């Protein structure tokens, strides 16, 4: 049999071999670090036998799927430890997730952080036991009886929801058996470094109608050094938590009167409006016009768009004049009505329409998280209507715009192209034109990208931008989605050069994504210490004593007239205290004024970037800070807080 490997080379074997045997034949080092395999695109255990010609990839912890299998095994080790220590506990589900794993469990006595330490200790024993992990299957009926015998009601319910005649797989390690599709590692000894990180509540199957379970979170790595590095990042992330900093810096608040509906405070509005001013400036430069569409629109519109049938559970609805209306969860249908407001010609295309539209979506209360997951948010939407021939150039234009945004804030990013899913709409020809348009644009720009086969939207392929923040976390923000279906649903048209009616192709795209979420990301990325151009307060004027308040007010007035956002601290406090508080509030610049400064028309400058910068002429200081603001510079913070 012929085995085609990832690099295109071919290995031939006369007899069947397991994936791990092939890995060992290729390299003993590879066999040591291998976690799972992929045969003809399907993930499999290393113990899986290869019996015929195929394409084979050996995955390690460095691959996302390899990492997932490693951490999924860690979740089973944790569940085994829980059952050993607290045998009355019932198990629900335990998948791997980004940065770790979790297991949902049901126990009458709530778990505590002290319990996590005991569970970790037991997990270490299980790893040391190097228990072989074995897969076996049962029929649906046998599987139900098996789990009933083991008194695992949640597993029984999961099996009962599977189709008749389906073969059910289980994984066994020592005395522990779990219902699982896999794949898993060969044994428990490879999971050498792990940490249980937190406890949370989670409704069974995500429904508020079901029982609240305990979710135990953890993470796992092949090496302790990698785990330690992750835990340092975790601690750093806690310090940067946008909910904590948002409160301390007076940016936004959440109230029980409106769960999931953020309140922006004065300083937060300055930050928000500065971002939106930049958005408008950028879009004007790139040839966009701005519109605003209503927040509430009639049910008929949402039926035409498909949202009423497919998204109604996430929409807030109301009745006006005895007719159904919905608060918009998306801006696109309103954008379609704007396009249809007058006849269009091919000469009008491409037509780039931007909208900062407030949308509302019902999120479950347990999913709400600061500004990251809310029930109302502003999308920096844009919809581009174009001819098929214009796809490539428009995609390049949007990609360039998004690159400009992320580069400004110092974000690295990677790009993923998602192709046609199984439940798609539209013809093969339409999909081929759209997908090749996206690929061609990325290729011509020389951009590296990963292809996610079958992960596109049902109406068209898409490009997603995953940005990396200052502590290495990734966030999916920007997206470009090609849509051939909404113009069809709304019967959108343009008159072509041939005088005939044609259907435009539509791009949906966002750069920030949700303004609220992007602000949350920026808070954590900069740890609240925003670049000067974005900072709600750019300069704090600090008179040494009351005697110099008048000169301080004079300095403040000049800063204000120059368009610099400044405040003055006139409290009867020592100057050291005032400086310290300005530092805690992440103010980019402080200007201290006393006798010498007043006499010579100077200011003593302290910055977040260099610390004490000495005395400067006020006019020169204003010119330098205006230049920094106008150029939207992102300066590195070097000075330490005193």
Q: Where are the alpha helices (DSSP H) in 262-330?
A: 266-285, 299-305, 307-310
Out of 379, 390, 485, 538, pick the active-site residue.
379
Q: How many residues are listed for the chain in this entry?
A: 642
> Which of 383, 502, 509, 565 is labelled catalytic?
383
Tell me, yes or no, if 332 is annotated catalytic. Answer: yes
Q: Which residues pair with 431 in a beta bridge?
A: none
d(CA 11, CA 6) in angstroms, rounded, equals 11
Catalytic hit among 180, 332, 376, 477: 332
The gap from C-alpha 536 to its chain's centroid, in whole angstroms, comes to 25
Active site residue 340: no
Q: In what order do the strands lie in the sheet with 296-298?
A: 296-298, 323-327, 317-320
Instruction: Assess contact for 326 and 317: CB atoms under 8 A.
Output: yes
Quick one: which H or E segment has residue 230?
Answer: helix 224-239
38 labelled catalytic: no
Which residues on neighbouring strands pair with residue 616, listed in sequence order?
603
Q: One of 462, 509, 578, 586 is an active-site residue; which one?
A: 462
Q: CA-to-CA distance for 405 and 283, rounded, in angstroms?
A: 11
CB 460 within 8 A of CB 484: yes
Residue of 38, 71, 361, 540 marked active site: 361
What are the C-alpha distances in Å from 32 to residues 28, 64, 127, 191, 478? 6, 18, 16, 13, 38
Cβ-count burial 451-471 (b if 16+ within 10 Å, e if not): eeeeebbebbbbbbbbbebee
Nearest to 544 by CA among 473, 591, 592: 592
Q: How far is CA 242 from CA 19, 245, 524, 532, in A?
A: 45, 5, 6, 19
Query: How far apart are alpha carbons 95 and 259 in whole angstroms?
Result: 28
Of the residues 381, 403, 430, 469, only one is catalytic, namely: 381
Q: Are 48 and 19 in contact (CB under 8 A)?
A: yes
User: Per DSSP, which regions of 251-387 are E strands?
Assistant: 252-253, 263-264, 289-290, 296-298, 317-320, 323-327, 351-360, 376-386
Supply the DSSP symbol for 566: E
Is 508 catalytic? The answer is yes
- Tell which phi-psi region holds residue 563, choosing left (phi > 0), alpha (psi between -120 and 50) or beta: left
Residue 390 known to be catalytic: no
Determine which one of 17, 71, 83, 508 is catalytic. 508
Cα Rg of the chain (Å, integer): 29
Q: Helices (H), strands (E): how many in the chain?
A: 20, 35
Active site residues: 332, 361, 379, 381, 383, 462, 508
């Amino acid at each position: 049999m012929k085995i085609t490997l990832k690099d295109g080379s071919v290995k031939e074997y006369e007899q069947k071999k397991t994936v791990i045997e092939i890995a060992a034949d290729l390299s003993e080092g590879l066999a040591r670090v291998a976690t799972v395999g992929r045969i003809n695109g399907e993930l499999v255990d290393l113990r899986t036998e290869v019996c015929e010609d195929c394409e084979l990839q050996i995955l390690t912890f460095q691959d996302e799927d390899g990492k997932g299998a490693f951490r999924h095994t860690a979740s089973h080790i944790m569940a085994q430890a829980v059952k050993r220590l607290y045998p009355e506990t019932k198990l629900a589900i335990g998948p791997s997730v980004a940065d770790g794993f979790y297991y949902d469990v049901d126990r009458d006595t709530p778990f505590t952080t002290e319990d996590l330490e005991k569970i970790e200790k037991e997990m270490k024993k299980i790893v040391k036991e190097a228990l072989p992990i074995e897969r076996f299957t049962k029929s649906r009926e046998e599987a139900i009886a098996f789990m009933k015998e083991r008194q695992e009601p949640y597993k029984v319910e999961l099996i009962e929801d599977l189709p008749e005649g389906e073969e059910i797989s289980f994984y066994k390690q020592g005395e522990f058996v779990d219902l699982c599709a896999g794949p898993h590692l060969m044994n428990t000894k490879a999971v050498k470094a792990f940490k249980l990180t937190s406890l949370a509540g989670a409704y069974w199957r995500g429904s508020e109608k079901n029982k609240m379970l305990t979710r135990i979170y953890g993470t796992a790595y092949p090496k302790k050094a990698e785990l330690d590095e992750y835990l340092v990042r975790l601690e750093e992330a806690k310090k940067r938590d946008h909910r904590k900093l948002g409160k301390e810096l007076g940016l936004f608040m959440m109230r029980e009167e409106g769960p999931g509906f953020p309140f922006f405070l004065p300083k937060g509005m300055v930050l928000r409006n500065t971002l939106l001013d930049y958005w408008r400036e950028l879009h004007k430069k790139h040839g966009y016009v701005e519109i605003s569409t209503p927040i509430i629109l009639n049910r008929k519109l949402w039926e035409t768009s498909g949202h009423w049938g497919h998204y109604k559970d996430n929409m807030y609805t109301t009745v006006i004049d005895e007719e159904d209306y919905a608060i918009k969860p998306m801006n696109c249908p309103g954008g379609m009505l704007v396009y249809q407001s007058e006849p269009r010609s091919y000469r009008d295309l491409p037509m780039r329409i931007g909208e900062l539209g407030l949308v509302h979506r019902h999120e479950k209360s347990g999913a709400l998280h600061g500004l990251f997951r809310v029930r109302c948010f502003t999308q920096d939407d844009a919809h581009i209507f174009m001819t098929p021939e214009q796809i490539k150039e428009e995609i390049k234009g949007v990609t360039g715009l998004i690159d400009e945004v992320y580069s400004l804030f110092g974000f690295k990013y990677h790009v993923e192209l998602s192709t046609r899913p199984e439940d798609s709409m539209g013809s093969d020809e339409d999909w081929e034109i759209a997908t090749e348009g996206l690929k061609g644009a990325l290729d011509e720009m020389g951009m590296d990208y990963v292809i996610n086969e079958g992960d596109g939207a049902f109406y068209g392929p898409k490009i997603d931008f995953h940005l990396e923040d200052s502590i290495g976390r990734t966030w999916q923000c920007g997206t470009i989605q090609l849509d051939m279906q909404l113009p069809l649903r709304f019967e959108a048209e343009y008159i072509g050069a041939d005088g005939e009616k044609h259907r435009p192709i539509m791009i949906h795209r966002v750069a920030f994504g949700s303004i609220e979420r992007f602000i949350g990301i920026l808070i954590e990325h900069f740890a609240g210490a925003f670049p000067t151009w974005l900072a709600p307060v750019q300069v704090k004027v600090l008179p040494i004593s009351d005697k110099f308040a008048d000169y301080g007010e004079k300095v403040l007035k000049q800063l204000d007239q120059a368009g610099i956002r400044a405040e003055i601290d006139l409290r009867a406090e020592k100057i050291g205290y005032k400086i310290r508080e300005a530092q805690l509030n992440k103010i980019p610049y402080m200007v201290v004024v006393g006798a010498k400064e007043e006499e010579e028309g100077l200011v003593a400058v302290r910055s977040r970037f260099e610390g004490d910068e000495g005395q400067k002429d006020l006019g020169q200081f204003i010119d330098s800070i205006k230049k920094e603001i106008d150029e939207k510079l992102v300066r590195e913070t070097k000075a330490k807080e005193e």
